[in-house]
Chains A and B, each alone.
Chain A
Amino acid sequence: MSYVMEIRGLEKHYTDFSLCNVDLSLAEGMVTGFIGVNGAGKTTTIKSALGLIIPDAGEIRFFGNSCSDHNVKNRIGVILDIQNFYEMLTLKEMKNIVAKSFKKWDERAYQGFISRFELPERKKIKELSKGMRMKFAIALALSHNADLLIMDEPTSGLDPLVRAELLDILREYMRTEGRTVFFSTHITSDLDKIADYLILIDNGRIIMQGEKDALIDSHGVVKGHAGSLNDEIKKLLVGFRVNAFGFSGLTHNKAKIHALLPDALIEKPSIEDLMLYYVRRDHDAAQSY
């Protein structure tokens, strides 16, 4: 399997937050969801990978080349959470600045996006709504034949219609062989529909990763009576919650749980279930430590 992006031993230390020994690889042709709660380290990881933040340690490679080779960015499309555009410029002026930076700018593709999204090229960026800005960012990121698309919280703050549109565009983008998407978000429902691979980050550390379907199949959300929650069961759970109606928890040993609690309900987890239970376990472990 070839990797389009590889991060090894990435470290970045701030006074109140640290990225610790982050290792991750993006396999070619996959949509990788990078999930985690706000402040988990998603943006710091992405910005470090792109060279916007200088890491304290670690190695970052794109398409086998060191990230210090800035030419590699000709093959990467980027959409950041804060859309860093010069707001006083018109869309056309902004596009001209971006277009002339890339070796393989595809004006036809760009114009296709402009008419598809009905973007007013003569309007100033500051006059656009958040949804329109996102569409403009997509148009810029996908018009230079990028092999890798990196997006940091692209759906955050967008209405469901624009989010659905973005997912459609990603599906279209992925139709061309060899293309890869790295998609950071805390809105996991978007990834249910599109992701092939998941990476979960919390407190600056990768705490879970794997193929989405395999992770969902290997885990189960257990629901049972609170009285049946003994130590043996607790050991088989990634995390659990007890309320007036009973308990619910996430397990990666469905067979054993079923043998011990034949009456318990075991459901297929959502990505959000995986994220919440693993993050809660990570926080509990950090507190007990």
Chain B
Amino acid sequence: MLLNLIKKDFIVCRAYVWFAALYGLAITIFMPFSFGPVLMSTGMNYLLLSTIHQMDDRCKGSALLGTLPYSRKQIVFARYCTSMVLFAACIAFYTVIMLIASQFSNSFKEIGIFTVEGTLLAFAVSCLFSAIFIPLNYRLGSEKARYINMIGFIGLFVLNMSSSEIFGSAGVDINVYVLASVAAAILAVSYFVSVVIYSKKDF
């Protein structure tokens, strides 16, 4: 049942997967630095999750799902699972691109094809992004939330770009394990917030 809802999300946004993949490819190739997985996963997550929410709103998908034997809690949970599956797919895609790119250029080898730290940092940022993005979309609807999301995404992009300098100059040594755990906890809290918002919605 849950798998069916996640699959539905992917089918609904599949027309935009190529566009998201193109973005991911461009980020990895033209901006090869250690924050690549963060930029890529957050960007692709944003593009595809916002498409899913837009399609749901445009086609009144929530009303359709409401007539099927799903609880509202299950529908919300599936959306969070979708965001995590998207993250995993992004990281896999990033690794494949890096693997291919490193055959042609040493600069990609230097960054490292797959690093636990980079992946955990990307996971933390993706969690934080979804933790804000999903309840905001449930609360405001995809149209209203789109502009706020866009600002948030650009802010995240700028932060990602300059984070090495910020953290470096401040001498902050980020423990990515702690960061990832805290982000996962925030995502869990966000899920309960979304359930409350979605449970009160009329379709």
A98 touches B66 (CB 8 A): no
| Stretch from A47-55, A170-178, A238-246, A259-267 at the B interface | A47-55
**Interface residue B193 (Cβ < 8 Å from any Cβ of A):** no
The answer to whether B202 and A53 touch across the interface, beta carbons within 8 angstroms, is yes
Closest to A103 in B: B69
A245 to B63, CA, bound (A): 50
Interface contact tally, CB-CB below 8 A: 70
Q: A54 with B66: in contact, given A70-B71, A85-B59, A86-B61 (CB under 8 Å)?
A: no
- Who on chain A is nearest to B68 by CB? A101
Q: A86-B55, A86-B59 are in contact. Are A52 and B69 (CB under 8 A)?
A: no
Do B67 and A78 touch (CB < 8 A)? Answer: yes
| Smallest Cβ-Cβ distance to A71: which chain B residue | B69
A73 and B200 contacting across the interface, CB-CB below 8 Å: no
A contact residues around B200 at 8 Å (CB): 54
User: Residue A3 at the B interface, CB < 8 A?
Assistant: no
- A211 contacts the other chain (CB 8 A): no
Chain A residue with minimal CB distance to B73?
Answer: A70
Q: Does B203 lie at the interface of the complex (its beta carbon under 8 Å from any beta carbon of A)?
A: yes
Contact of A89 with B4 at beta-carbon distance under 8 Å, contacts A50-B66, A52-B63, A84-B59 already known = no
**B 59-95 binary contact with A (CB < 8 Å = 1; else 0):** 1110110111111001000000000000000000000
* Binary interface encoding of chain A residues 73-105 relative to chain B, with 1 for a CB under 8 A from any of its CBs, else 0: 110101010101111110001000110111100
Residues of B within 8 A of A102 (CB): 68-69
What is the CA–CA distance of A249 and B160 in the complex, to the nearest angstrom?
Answer: 76
In the complex, residue of chain A having the shortest beta-carbon distance to the beta carbon of B64: A84
Chain B residues near A98: list those with CB within 8 A.
Answer: 68
Check if B12 is an interface residue, CB within 8 A of chain A: yes
Report which of A47, A85, A93 forms a contact with B203, defined as CB distance below 8 A: A47
Q: Name the distance in Å between A255's Cβ and chain B's nearest Cβ.
A: 47
A251 to chain B, nearest CB (A): 40
Residue ID in chain A nearest B75 by CB atoms:
A70
With A78-B67, A88-B15 known to touch, is A97 a contact of B8 (CB < 8 Å)? yes
Q: Tell me the complex Cα distance, A255–B67, Å.
A: 47
How far is the CB of B75 from the nearest CB of chain A, in Å? 10
A85–B55 CA distance with the chains assembled, in angstroms: 10
> Are A101 and B70 in contact, with the CB atoms below 8 A?
yes
Q: Judging by beta carbons under 8 Å apart, are A84 and B60 in contact?
A: yes
Complexed CA–CA distance, A51 and B202 (Å): 9
Give 20 pairs: A residue, B residue, CB < 8 Å, sorted on A: A47-B202, A50-B67, A52-B63, A52-B67, A52-B202, A52-B203, A53-B203, A54-B199, A70-B71, A70-B74, A71-B69, A73-B68, A74-B69, A84-B61, A85-B59, A86-B55, A86-B61, A93-B11, A98-B68, A101-B70
> What 14 additional pairs, Cβ within 8 angstroms, besides A50-B66, A70-B71, A86-B11?
A47-B63, A52-B66, A52-B202, A53-B203, A74-B69, A84-B59, A84-B60, A84-B63, A84-B64, A85-B59, A85-B64, A88-B12, A89-B12, A101-B68
